Amino acid sequence: MTREAGPPAAAPFEVLATRAQVTDAVERVAAELSTIYEDDVEPPILVGVLKGSTLFLADLIRAMPIAVQIDFMAISSYEAQAEQPSVVRIVKDLEHEITGRDVVIVEDIVDTGLTLAYLRRTLLEREPRSLRTVTLLDKAVRRIVPVELEHRVFEIPDVFVVGYGMDFQGHYRNVPQLVAVRDLPRLAAEPRLLVAPLFGAPQVRGAR
């Protein structure tokens, strides 16, 4: 008996940008930033917003042939009340004083804009010499609050992205490319769904 072949099952993800495409685009933005700060006496401080921006920050600064310093902030957001926009607070603050310094916020993604609006307000109160933001991904279609955003690597539609620092429930930050998840409910039910297609089948390490 032969079975009729149905259409092939759609992959549960789509590669939005390969590692090489990400590298090229990050280098373009790194060049933009380098031009802005190359003649400054004091180096700019690039502030990575933990944790999603870490891979982007690492590649960005290595593509900037100027003096830079780095620092990190961690923030958390929570729903104040049902149907209210989320409230953001600082979990880890900067180690640098930024008064009088050029500061660049480095984000992996700007979505509703609430996080960036909060960060900008908080950092501007410390009176930096200048404040700019660079984001790997700009999901402008989802913006709730208008926010200044000077540099973006990619603008994306309303898709859920993992890889290159971005996660789903802690998984997939180390995927080298940018990957859009096609079926989020299915991934929520099976959080490790993309492990085999993205990393290859797990090695057999003996029966347990």
Residues 152-191 that bind ligand PRP (CB under 6 A): 167
92 upstream amide cis, omega within 30 of 0: no
Catalytic member of 39, 40, 102, 111: 111
Neighbours of 179 (CB within 10 A): 26
Helix 54-62 with 19-37: angle, nearest 10 deg:
60
Paired with 151 in beta bridges are 134
Q: Is 128 in the site for ligand PRP (CB under 6 A)?
A: no
Contact between 114 and ligand PRP (CB under 6 A)? Answer: yes
Q: Give catalytic status of residue 158 as yes or no.
A: no
Q: Smaller CB distance to ligand PRP: residue 4 or 83?
A: 83
Q: Are 90 and 72 in contact (CB under 8 A)?
A: no
**Number of alpha helices (DSSP H) and beta strands (DSSP E) in the chain:** 5, 9
22 interacts with ligand PRP by CB under 6 A: no
Q: How far is the CB of 69 from ligand PRP (least distance, A)?
A: 21
Contact between 149 and ligand PRP by CB under 6 A: the answer reads no
**What residues numbered 92-111 form the site for ligand PRP, per CB under 6 A?**
107-111
- Contacting range for ligand PRP; rule: CB under 6 A; set: 14-22, 48-56, 93-101, 154-162: 48-56
- Give the CA angle between residues 174, 172, 51 to the nearest 5°: 70
Q: Given the rule CB under 6 A, which residues bind ligand PRP?
A: 49-52, 107-116, 167
Report, as residue numbers or ranges, the catalytic residues: 111
